[in-house]
Structure 1
Amino acid sequence: MPMVYDYEVAIYGGPEGLDGDRARIFLHAPDGQQTGTIHFRVPGAPLRPEREGRTVSHIDLPEAMIATITDLLRNEKPIFFPKTTVRSLRTGKEPVGEGEE
Structure 2
Amino acid sequence: MHGYSANRDAHLKRLRRIEGQVRGIARMVEDDQYCIDILTQVSAATKALQSVALNLLEEHLAGCVVEAAQQGGPEADAKVKEAADAIARLVRS
Q: Same fold (TM over 0.5)?
A: no
The structure showing larger relative contact order (alpha-carbon pairs under 8 Å, at least 6 residues apart) is 2
TM-score by length of 2: 0.25
Structure showing greater Rg: 2
TM-score by length of 1: 0.24
By percentage of residues, which structure has more strand? Answer: 1
